[in-house]
A and B are shown apart, each in its own frame.
Chain A
Amino acid sequence: MHSNVFLKTRGLKKESYFIIILAMLFFVGLNPLLAQSKPDPKALIKQVDDLSDFSGKDFSAVFTIVTQKPGEKDSVTQARIFRRDLKKQFVILILLPEVNKGQGYLREDDNVWFYDPTSRKFSHSSMKENLQNTKAKNSDFTLSTFAEDYTVTKMTDGMVGKFPVWILDLKAKTNEVAYDRVVLYIRKDRTMLLKREDYSVNGRLMRTTAYPKYVELEGRLLPSQILIVDEVNKGEKSQITMAEQSVSPLPDRVFTKAFLEQVSR
């Protein structure tokens, strides 16, 4: 009796081994197909970077940033941004509020300069700094370089609103970036960044940024409305609205200190 049961179980075991091996072979065979449906994360973030890369062209637009803080009047900053992505150059020129009009930021090689027309002096700034009193960083207005600055540590999928997304967990390669860890929510059916979460070195969620509206310009996709939510100071947020976008060529002198000095003279 006992031996019979033993034999039966052994027989079952043999069968189950067979099924498992068969299943494994099936999945191994299927693997290339699966791999095809799940994109390469590195290539995906490169695609996100390339979406708004105007290399070979110049780009300029006006950004209006409205910042809300509890118990305070909304503050408004309007700036014209000039970009020459091929050389990683950019200029941010403050148009509003009037008291800060003519102030500017310039990226020259690896340096970021801040210019104040009231004293006609430059001081050193960085990509990591906030633009004026807004929740936006200087780096939010430049060409995104996720593929260059970060490595993907995890890739899962999920939903943002009604859109299925790839969720990519990114870890910074350098300390030149504003945030050590970034989580990107990239739309599956058409590659575009819908949301990003920025974390500090100790893992605290610092801000959440949503990109709910895009504009197509010369085959490139640019977020035209952005919402930045400060997760540390509850209730503080900034809305960025882009207008007057253009890819007309800009004179070389735009990307110089002299331009900032002359333009607000």
Chain B
Amino acid sequence: MSLTTAHSVVAPSANSKRIAGVIIVAYALISIVPLLWIFATSFKTPPDSIAYPPKLVFQPSLEGYCNLFTTRTRQTPEYINSLGPATGLCDATVRKRNMVIAGPSNFLPRFVNSLIIAFGSTFCAVFLGTLSAYGFSRFKVPLADDLLFFILSTRFMPPIAVAIPIYLMYRELGLSDTALGMILLYTAVNVSLAVWLLKGFIDEIPREYEEAAMIDGYTRLQAFWRTVLPQATTGIAATAIFCLIFAWNEYAFAALLTSGTAQTAPPFIPTIIGEGGQDWPAVAAGTTIFLVPILVFTILLRKQLLRGITFGAVRK
């Protein structure tokens, strides 16, 4: 009989492990239900999507995705019959509802706007955050504590509290409804988080690494690039995910400051209207596609996030 399993104080017992497992699985299931519901709705037909009682089993349809990417006009059946054979799956689908495709919808450009603005602002926030965090971590910055507190204080109130001054400023500066304006705004909001998070990570990297590199003939910037950055990847990945999620999901400023060319996906998706009410399958399809980049980004960086724990050849 093993000594450790008898009455170990530190190792969880088999029973408590089982209970913990059940709780975690239950939580995961509850969390994923809304996502699954959206995913399922995106493949329903509009009547199925609002059927009562809700349909758990249904004939999958791509109508939601077709409606998401196109604009359509209603036509008489005679006119539709006079047209040639349908040119694609979507064409055929909408013709059943006495519609013809009039052109592409705004979803794709809005989605691209979201990509540009979210990734652009994330890059800027992490870039600035890494350099400032390194500066605060390694150099004697005058009033360092006060500066760090000031940086943190920009997060004391919800960003939307300053919406009106920002709206007025952006109008004066011509930044309203521009990608540059949105990138600047999200960078400003995220950079404080980035500085604080990254300072913690960089503080953990012993100075000896850079000092050794500098003695070996590297300049400080080269030493930073070759020794600090590779070891800060974990922190940088974590920070980037936080920044990206904020910028990607942000709704209020996007709704206020963008309306046309620079509009992002969050304020666009709710405006998808079908005939005789909200086109729920199209909205669900937009939401499903909208979730993909964050999912991919997080899964790609998952390894970086997990790797940090057993890392480091410095003995403390």
Q: Do A and B bind each other?
A: no
Task: List residues of B whose CB falls within 8 A of some A CB.
Answer: none
